[in-house]
Chains A and B, each alone.
Chain A
Amino acid sequence: MGFAWGPGDILVYETLYKASGSGCSFIHEIRKDEDIYSPILRKLFNESHHIFVGLQTIREDLPSKSKKPQFVSISKNYRSVIRACMEELQQVAGNNIRCVSILLAIELIWNLCEVLFIEAAPAGSLLLHLLDWVRLHKADVDERAREVLQSESPAEHHDYWDVVVSYVLQGRLEEARQMLVKQATLQPAARSMYKQMDTLLSKMPFYNPGGTQTLTEFDVKWRHWHEEVDRSLQDNSFASNRHLELICKILLGDEDTLLEHKELLGTWYHFLVTRLLFCHPTVKPTELHYYAQSCMTMFLDSRSVPEPLDSILLAAFEFDIHQVIKDCSIALNNWWFVAHLTDLLDHCKLLQSHNLHFGSNLREFLLLEYASGLFTHHSLWQLAVDYFDHCPEFGRVYLELQIERVPLETERKALKVLRICEQRQMSEQVRSICKIMAMRALRNNRLGSALSWSIRAKDAAFATLISERFLQDYCARGTFSDLDLIDNLGPAMLLSDRLTFLGKYREFHKLYGEKRFREAAKLLLSLMTAKIAPQSFWMTLLTDALPLLEQKEVSHQQTGSVLWNLQSASPLVFLSLQEEDVEVTKVELLRLALARNLAQAIVKEGTVET
């Protein structure tokens, strides 16, 4: 087997051929990144491109205070795009489970990064954000609750207590209380116990970031409440009902109780947040990683190996942004996530300029990788252009190299690629694309198209080539083809000498046809003297001069000039047309006509009217 690297894929071919038989060898194309070909994920790429471009245009000079909410909202936009894709993938039947779970993980990581890095919530509100984060990613609680509530007797449903405990674990105490009311009505005897639990649940303080209460005041209040719960447990108020006792222990943040409910928690980070909620609600961002590490160790058995997702989340809790990005790059097969996240974090000025060996920084490196991957796609290459634009150091070079490789099947696509190049002053690429299109047009005998391409590139050499074709056609057939083009050249005529000659020559024909011989003669003469005619054409020009000489409209200076031209043309004419008697005769005829004309002109002009 042999292989060759392509920009985004590998070509693999068999090198061992069977001597006999139908040896049809195959070439296999292995695509590294399948995701960009998925129709639903394409929406992700397009929408995120829109958000990306919007992010780049946020003005740099605004104070960071007003920019933070903007960045947070952009981060939320990205996440909602991911969610929308995920939902759509889930609805579509098919083997999308891998994709859905990857998107879930991505959104989880992004959300955590938003909370910790972009929002950068201080102690107090940090926990609230983390609670939101956990609630968002544990949707099955609501499903179960719905199931329980829709049954005839919710309080006797076998999942009832699981739901209540889940609510408590997530800090959704209001909903827990509402559920408990249903149970309380069923057991009137234990009313006072339920009342007490209800009171405890309702009195749990939650920090209000917008309020007037300071963190210390909140802390004091919380400790009071915590002690009250502890007392309730110690006096065995809930001893008769193991469920309520369990809830009480959870409210105290008892680790063993929490660990007993691993299935309800599901993940170590849920365990972490719950533990923080009920033990240290005023946790500071810098303290997070201690708790995170210990929670992860406690939750995961010593046998099980932490998954990549776990180590990424742990790195996030440790505020090690680079580690997060590095681990994500390794774990995922597409640069989309790391490129956009790094770009956003860079805008928040959270990344130190981490210079890589080849000079560009991390953000640029990732964006370049992502955009190069996009360029291999037959359709998404247009998005990549904007990404390259926002990579100040190497973006332009990458774009120059890649844009020339876009296949140009139709004129419309070529026009779009040209517009991209022209807007960025990539004149080399403009010239080469126009040349490709012009050559193609010329090959198909579309001279007008070829001319319009060479006008766009301001390519004088090509315009000359086209004019030569026209003139050759004329010499061969005696008439012009494509008169609509030549008659209407306009200022484009000035692009090249040959083209000007063509236009003027056609004008000469028109004048002759309209019998305006004097102007025709003047034009012809100016064509000859200006020396823009190709040498192969001089004979034709001189032959055209013949009938004009007969018309007696030529003055003696003009005749002299023609004679001179004939003289200078003759050697060449003889060299090229040696055996042509016709040509020799033509020259002789010309000389004769010129001589006669000269004689007549001298006589005419010398005559004085008396």
Chain B
Amino acid sequence: MEAINAKYVSQKISKTRWRPVSHSSLQPPEIFATGSWDNEDNRISIWSIGSNGSTGMEDGFEGDPQLLCEHKHDGDVLDLQFLDQNRIVTASSTGAVTIFRHHQNSQTISISQLWARAHHYPCDNAPCTGVVCSSPEIVTVGEDGRIIVFRADQEGVIRVIENADSSTIHAVTYLRTTEILTVNSIGQLKLWDFRQQSNSPSQILSLTGDRVPLHCVDRHPNQQHIVATGGQDGMLCVWDVRQGSTPFSLMEAHTAEMWEVHFHPTNPDHLFTCSEDGSLLHWETSSHSDMPSFLQGGRNSSMVSRSAMAPAGGNQSLISAWLSGDSSKGRLETTHMLPSQTLSVNSLDVLGPCLVCGTDGEAIFVNRQVLI
């Protein structure tokens, strides 16, 4: 694990996201956006780690991220997504959903569209907690239990599912182009099908034990039925949404809330999680090798994976390595990626060989050579 340097930025970072690179170019990502929280003036900022941004860095030395531009943001940035190369959607603690446009030639940011009280209570503001987009459609969820569908460049709201949930919806992700998955604070995973007109979920999955709030969810990039979630107790659960209503495997990951879980978009044998306890774990699974599931010393630690049920038969090679809950069949390797003793790592994003994460210690860490 190579040294990873902190860049202190004078604002607590709540979200970081890489700007997507076009599929044709083979270059690693260079630009990322961050959102801050808990400040009197919160901001979204755009940073560059490319060589054009740095000023005369020594060769071979990883350049610090350089601030390109930033813009004031009303309320905490609770979620942030790139809509396309130039536009960013943010979810605010005031309940607003905003589209910012990044003008690359002048390196400025301006507000392109704003839905001010998208999420609200009858007489109060409700924070908007999650946003996911698949251009031009934007789906947001909030503490008011609503799911709202917007379309970029259209003023009004396309669809609202009122009272989708009686508790706070923490995160949302696309399962298929017309289906989304939400997680809430009573530990349920709900599947919503937009083709149906009803306002109830098409499927509800939850743990059989305690109703631990779930905070993050991510879908496997290639196999759309595999979903990973992380919750308040720091457990990483991998679910198969086709079968059954309980998770496939449960792994103890962190000692505090897990804030984000991400499959690597092009190499889904790798998974990354970050948590309130200040650690960022890199999970790697491979079912090919014969090595035992324990690993040699250093900073690696092997996590025990407990499966809720055995795979339902069929060809072993077709079943993803994530679902083989039995630890003797597969190997699961975890690595800590940050120096110890950081404050909570609130967010991470991984694209290609690059990883960026932001912490409550007002620091951003960029690792350009993640081993995948």
Contacts and interface: CB of A to CB of B under 8 A. Distances in A.
Main secondary structure of the interface of A (DSSP, over half): helix
Interface stretch (B100-108, B164-172, B284-292): B164-172
Contacts of A451: 167, 186
A444 B126 contact: yes
B10 A452 contact: no
B341 interface: yes
Nearest to A493: B211
A24 B151 CA distance: 44
A448 B361 contact: no
Nearest to B184: A448
Given A42-B362, A379-B39, A488-B211, A444 B167 contact: no
A388 B334 CA distance: 32
Interface in B99-128: 121-122, 124, 126-127
B344 interface: yes
Given A46-B361, A46-B363, A411-B143, A448 B166 contact: yes
B166 A447 contact: yes
Contacts of B208: 490
Contacts of A429: none
A444 B78 contact: no
B10 A492 contact: no
A488 B188 contact: yes
B308 to A, nearest CB: 15
Interface string A40-57: 101100110110011001
Contacts of A449: 143, 166-168, 185
B54 to A, nearest CB: 15
| Interface size class of chain B, counting residues whose CB lies under 8 Å from the partner chain | 35 or more
Interface stretch (A412-420, A512-520, A533-541, A585-593): A412-420
B183 to A, nearest CB: 12
Interface string B117-146: 000011010110100000000000001110
Contact of B167 (A378, A382, A412, A485): A485
Contacts of B264: none
B273 interface: no
A379 B38 CA distance: 6
Contacts of A43: 8-10, 362
Contact of B12 (A39, A57, A379, A488): A379
A488 B207 CA distance: 10
Contacts of A411: 127, 129, 143, 168, 185
Nearest to A382: B360
Contacts of A20: none
Given A47-B8, A416-B344, A490 B276 contact: no
Nearest to A413: B38
B10 A40 contact: yes
A411 B184 CA distance: 12
Contact of A444 (B6, B121, B204): B121
Contacts of A423: 256
A492 B207 CA distance: 12
B206 interface: yes
B213 A452 contact: yes
Contacts of A448: 145, 165-168, 184-186
A202 B167 CA distance: 80
B341 A446 contact: no
A488 B127 contact: no
A455 interface: yes
Contacts of A57: 341
Contacts of A383: 343, 361
Contact of B166 (A39, A379, A419, A485): A485
Interface in A425-456: 444-449, 451-452, 455
Contact of B143 (A54, A446, A447, A489): A446
A467 to B, nearest CB: 13
B40 interface: yes
B257 interface: yes
A188 interface: no
A21 interface: no
Interface string B194-206: 0000001100101
A523 B172 CA distance: 38
A383 B12 CA distance: 11
B14, B37, B39, B185 — most chain A CB neighbours (10 Å): B185
Nearest to A41: B10
Contact of B188 (A382, A412, A419, A484): A484
B10 A39 contact: yes
A397 to B, nearest CB: 23
B168 A446 contact: yes
Contact of B343 (A382, A409, A488): A382
A491 interface: yes
A410 interface: yes
B204 to A, nearest CB: 7
Interface string A558-579: 0000000000000000000000
B230 to A, nearest CB: 13
Given A411-B127, A446-B144, A490-B211, A50 B361 contact: yes
Contacts of A446: 143-145, 166-168
A40 B362 CA distance: 12
B9, B38, B363 — most chain A CB neighbours (10 Å): B38
A436 to B, nearest CB: 14
Interface string A365-385: 000000000000011001100
B185 A53 contact: no
A227 interface: no
A224 to B, nearest CB: 45
B249 interface: no
Nearest to A491: B210
B219 to A, nearest CB: 22
Nearest to B7: A43
Contacts of A447: 166
B209 interface: yes
A482 interface: yes
B42 to A, nearest CB: 10
Contact of A452 (B8, B14, B211, B341): B211
A587 B208 CA distance: 41
Contacts of A382: 12, 343, 360
A473 to B, nearest CB: 12
Given A43-B362, A53-B341, A412-B78, A484 B10 contact: no
Contact of B206 (A379, A481, A488): A488
A423 B122 CA distance: 35
B311 to A, nearest CB: 25
Contact of B276 (A40, A46, A419): A419
Interface string A53-73: 110010000000000000000
Contacts of B200: 484
A444, A445, A491 — most chain B CB neighbours (10 Å): A444
A395 B282 CA distance: 35
Nearest to B94: A409
A413 B129 CA distance: 12
Contacts of A379: 11-12, 38-39
Nearest to A85: B8
Given A39-B10, A448-B165, A488-B186, A409 B211 contact: no
B232 interface: yes
B93 interface: yes
B333 interface: no
B39 A54 contact: no
Given A444-B124, A490-B210, 4 more contacts: A50-B361, A416-B276, A419-B276, A484-B200
12 contacts: A42-B10, A46-B8, A378-B38, A411-B127, A412-B129, A413-B38, A413-B76, A419-B256, A445-B122, A448-B167, A448-B186, A484-B201
The 10 closest A-B pairs by CB, nearest first: A448-B167, A448-B166, A482-B166, A43-B8, A39-B10, A444-B121, A42-B10, A452-B185, A449-B167, A485-B166
Interface of A: 39-40, 42-43, 46-47, 49-50, 53-54, 57, 378-379, 382-383, 409-413, 415-416, 419, 423, 444-449, 451-452, 455, 481-482, 484-485, 488-492
